[in-house]
């Protein structure tokens, strides 16, 4: 292709980008920013281990833990959300906001540890099962 032909097509072909405030449409099934609900979190840290991008940090202390999420490192894969058994994590369906400084969207939560759930009251003892004939005596009986 001639260089002048290529230049002509690029110059007169019209714009192929959107101006700054405009954004492309979000496709169905888009996975966006991770949202954290501290009320549902038990502090198991499974999300930290499942995050391959290391966007989630978890620091445990005696009576509390700190959960941090940095969207600048996140690949929006959703593995952390899939692994959360208590559904404390979810993902937005909107594009993340534009940010100009590193760590501007980073969120950090300090959450008090919840006490371990108490086991249900002990079940009443089972009724005495009817006694059965021992296997050896059963074999010796005449048929």
**Does a structural domain hold residue 5?**
no
Q: What is the pLDDT of residue 137?
A: 54
Whichever domain contains 93, its CATH number is: 3.30.70.3270
For residue range 3-15, what is the model confidence (pLDDT) as tens digits?
888 888 888 877 7
CB 43, CB 111: distance < 8 Å:
yes
Would residue 55 count as lying in a domain?
yes
Instruction: Name the more confident of 139 and 7.
Output: 7
Instruction: Note the pLDDT tens digit of each residue in 107-116.
Output: 899 998 877 5
**What's the structural domain count of the chain?**
1
First and final C-alpha spacing in the chain: 101
H/E run at residue 109: strand 107-112
Residue 108 lies in a domain: yes
Residue 86, domain member (yes or no): yes
Question: Does a structural domain hold residue 49?
Answer: yes
Residue 32 is encoded by which pair of tokens?
A: 């966006």
Contact by Cβ (8 Å): 71, 56: no
Q: Is residue 70 part of a domain?
A: yes
Structural domain including 103 reads 29-114
Q: What digits encode the pLDDT tens for the residues 52-107?
A: 999 999 999 888 999 999 988 998 899 999 999 999 999 988 777 778 888 888 98
């Amino acid at each position: 292709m001639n260089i002048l032909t290529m230049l002509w097509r690029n110059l007169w072909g019209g714009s192929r980008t959107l101006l700054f405030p405009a954004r492309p449409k979000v496709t169905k099934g888009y996975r966006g920013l991770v949202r954290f609900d501290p009320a549902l979190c038990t502090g198991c840290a499974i999300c930290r281990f499942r995050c391959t991008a290391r966007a989630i940090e978890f620091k445990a202390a005696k009576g509390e833990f700190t959960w941090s999420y940095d969207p600048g490192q996140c690949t929006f894969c959703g593995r952390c959300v899939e692994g959360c058994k208590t559904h404390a994590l979810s993902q937005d369906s909107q594009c993340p906001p534009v940010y100009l400084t590193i760590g501007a969207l980073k969120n950090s939560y300090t959450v008090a540890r919840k006490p371990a759930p108490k086991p249900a009251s002990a079940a009443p003892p089972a009724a005495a099962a009817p006694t059965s004939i021992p296997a050896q005596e059963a074999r010796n009986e005449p048929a």
